A and B are shown apart, each in its own frame.
Chain A
Amino acid sequence: MHYLSAHEIRDLLRKREVTAEEVTRKTLERINEVDSKVNAYLEVFEDAIEAAKEIDKKIAQGEDVKDLAGIPMAIKDNICMKGRKTTCASKILENFVSPYDATVVERLKDNGAVIVGRLNMDEFAMGSSTENSAFKKTRNPYDLERVPGGSSGGSAAAVAAGEAYYTLGSDTGGSIRQPASLCGVVGFKPTYGRVSRYGLVAFASSLDQIGPFTRDVEDAALVLNAICGKDNKDSTSVDVKVEDFTTYLNKSLKGVKVGLPKEYFGEGIDNGVKKELEKAIALLKDLDAEIKEINLPMSQYALAVYYILSSSEASSNLARFDGIRYGVRAKDFEDVVVLYVKSRSQGFGREVKRRIMLGTYALSSGYYDAYYKKALKVKTLIINEFKKAFEDVNLIISPTSPSVAFKFGEKADDPLKMYLSDICTVPVNIAGLPAVSIPAGLSDNLPVGLQIIGNYFKEGEIISLAHGIEKALSLNLRPNL
């Protein structure tokens, strides 16, 4: 039962073959059974049973409940839930209790979701392996000696290990798609502005976007249906009609033009990854899609742009953690400046400090033009290049991650090496486009992810192609736990 999809659970609930309470108990048991190995959860909500019982009552009374009603799910620990801790896997927020619900949480609750816990992540979403969590090491369910990817490593591992039917994560440079790829699940980053960021602890506000991890593409459509849409509490959320994304499932792909950017299949991409992708792409021809080689030479600059912009924004966003209004306050301070310095230096971990320093430097007097402004100009060129590409093709396919899951410690000491994990995903955030990672196969028994990038607000088209490939591959990956 742990490996059923959310839509299968929905159908069982509607046919009254199971109750939400049973499903939730089973999920809590599963967490109890495997999370000592996987370590996806920072906290499990045993009282989730109560929310499940409410849904059962509604179903018993013959009420029409929504698609996600009664289905256990969990949330990355940088998204606020009223009355629950939100730590961002940082010591500085160790005791922070959120006084309000994020808009996505409010929407999920309105849909009857049963939230069973908070999930581990890289501290403040900075990292690609979840090794930067101040609290625990999440392990890849396919190989416990390897990382689950990051920063939403807990969200990906929980779905892969059958510890939740779906989860939410956040993606600033690949933090949904890369761990989804490494854990063999579906991870969807919507267009910037599709999903409200209200209640998501900000890392880089111009790039951050919330999205789902699911077992299949149909579930991704269901979760997007629930969380997308304009929100008055986030002025960057966009008022674009939210279609029913499930109407994009089972569509013919005849005549759909798919671009393969040469630069994303070149140097730095492991052969095992390339091989699995080539197999999946070969299937596209049987589905009558048109395949076209394209060029995105500006993408090679996206990672440099990303590290300047995201660190600059982080240095500004994380200035709020000063030990005054919330968070841990250091002891022994003579004055308020020492209080700030000590609270921040003791509360933040190494990578977070490194990014704050880099961002502060890039924004400091004398360097602003050379770094920050230069990055914003190259961002224009990256955007223009994608826009031009989408004049010729509907969708773009690339690897999600240049390699399969790597071992703990393998990249932890070299920030640049770690940053390269995001080389295929970062350009998408710079341009604000939607993209998904779906499983493409296994290389050395480890999952390989395929990324599909769409034009602005074309999540539906992405779903059609992703669903087509998923059906053609019919992988049904499961770890041996």
Chain B
Amino acid sequence: MAVDKSQVDYVAKLARLEFSEEEKEKFVGDFNKILQFVEKLNEIDTENVEISISSYPMFNALREDEVKPSLSLDEVLLNAPDKENGYFRVPKVVD
């Protein structure tokens, strides 16, 4: 599989990133090189192989739903680029 500039545009949109035309050109090249490299995996027949999520058996880690101290409002908003009255401030989202 190989990508072209229109696919780079599509993926950039999904990833919420933008690039200059020059960067896009470079991307197409880098991308195809990396994809060509990972296509090495097609040498292996994985027809009857199960996927592995974790490397050794892991189980759901359940716990009691208890109320415990958490970060204060001030701490939560400490790094907010814009805030007002204890809320994160963002541009209008709904018309």
Question: A305-339: contact bitstring with B at CB < 8 Å (1 yes, 0 no)?
Answer: 10110000001000100111111110001111101
Say whether, besides A99-B71, A357-B17, A383 and B55 are in contact (CB < 8 Å): yes
Q: Is the CB of B38 within 8 A of A371?
A: yes
Q: Is the CB of A235 within 8 A of B91?
A: no
Q: Which 4 A-B pairs have the closest CB atoms?
A: A432-B55, A329-B81, A326-B79, A376-B51
**Cβ-closest chain B residue relative to A308:** B38
List of B residues within 8 angstroms of A380 by Cβ? 49-52
**Cβ-closest chain A residue relative to B40:** A304
* Residue of B44, B49, B81 ringed by the most chain A CB atoms within 10 A: B81
**Cβ-closest chain B residue relative to A232:** B63
Question: B51-86: contact bitstring with A at CB < 8 Å (1 yes, 0 no)?
Answer: 111111010010100000001000110111110000
**Cβ-closest chain A residue relative to B3:** A361
How many angstroms between the C-alpha atoms of A329 and B30 in the bound complex?
Answer: 28
List of B residues within 8 angstroms of A329 by Cβ? 81-82
Give the shortest distance, in Å, between A421 (CB) and chain B (any CB). Answer: 14
Q: Is the CB of B15 within 8 A of A381?
A: no
List of A residues within 8 angstroms of B12 by Cβ? 357
Q: Is the CB of A358 within 8 A of B31?
A: yes
Give the shortest distance, in Å, between B73 (CB) and chain A (any CB). Answer: 11
Q: Which of B17, B39, B52, B88 contacts A344 (CB 8 A)?
A: B17
Q: Is the CB of A96 within 8 A of B41?
A: no
Q: Is the CB of A206 within 8 A of B54?
A: yes
Question: B12-25: contact bitstring with A at CB < 8 Å (1 yes, 0 no)?
Answer: 10111111000000
Q: Is the CB of B46 within 8 A of A374?
A: yes
How many angstroms between the C-alpha atoms of A433 and B55 in the bound complex?
Answer: 8
Q: Is the CB of B3 within 8 A of A324?
A: no
How many angstroms between the C-alpha atoms of A383 and B51 in the bound complex?
Answer: 11
Q: Is the CB of A378 within 8 A of B76?
A: no
Say whether, besides A360-B11, A361-B11, A377-B50, A416 and B37 are in contact (CB < 8 Å): yes
Say whether, besides A329-B82, A357-B31, A431-B55, A344 and B16 are in contact (CB < 8 Å): yes
Cβ < 8 Å to B, chain A residues 352-379: 353-354, 356-358, 360-361, 364, 367, 370-371, 373-379
What size tier do the contact residues of chain B reach?
A: 35 or more
Q: Is the CB of A206 within 8 A of B53?
A: yes
**Cβ-closest chain B residue relative to A343:** B81
Say whether, besides A96-B79, A304-B41, A326-B79, A376 and B71 are in contact (CB < 8 Å): no
How many angstroms between the C-alpha atoms of A304 and B40 in the bound complex?
Answer: 7
Question: A187-206: contact bitstring with B at CB < 8 Å (1 yes, 0 no)?
Answer: 00000110000000000001
Q: Is the CB of B34 within 8 A of A307?
A: yes
Question: A71-95: contact bitstring with B at CB < 8 Å (1 yes, 0 no)?
Answer: 0000000000000000000000001
The dominant DSSP class at the B interface is loop
Q: Which of A95, A192, A354 contacts B55 (CB 8 A)?
A: A192
How many angstroms between the C-alpha atoms of A335 and B95 in the bound complex?
Answer: 11
List of A residues within 8 angstroms of B79 by Cβ? 95-97, 99, 325-327
Question: A156-197: contact bitstring with B at CB < 8 Å (1 yes, 0 no)?
Answer: 000000000000000000000000000000000000110000
Q: Does A404 contact B (CB under 8 A)?
A: no
**Cβ-closest chain A residue relative to B43:** A301
How many angstroms between the C-alpha atoms of A336 and B8 in the bound complex?
Answer: 22
Say whether, besides A100-B71, A364-B11, A301 and B91 are in contact (CB < 8 Å): no
List of B residues within 8 angstroms of A238 by Cβ? 58
Q: Is the CB of A99 within 8 A of B63?
A: no
**Cβ-closest chain B residue relative to A340:** B16
List of A residues within 8 angstroms of B80 by Cβ? 325-326
List of B residues within 8 angstroms of A415 by Cβ? 30, 33-34
Give the shortest distance, in Å, between A453 (CB) and chain B (any CB). Answer: 13
List of A residues within 8 angstroms of B46 by Cβ? 374, 377-378, 381
Q: Does A126 contact B (CB under 8 A)?
A: no
Give the shortest distance, in Å, between B1 (CB) and chain A (any CB). Answer: 7
Q: Is the CB of B52 within 8 A of A376?
A: yes
Q: Is the CB of A324 within 8 A of B88?
A: yes
How many angstroms between the C-alpha atoms of A232 and B53 in the bound complex?
Answer: 21
List of B residues within 8 angstroms of A361 by Cβ? 3, 7, 11, 31
Q: Does A345 contact B (CB under 8 A)?
A: yes
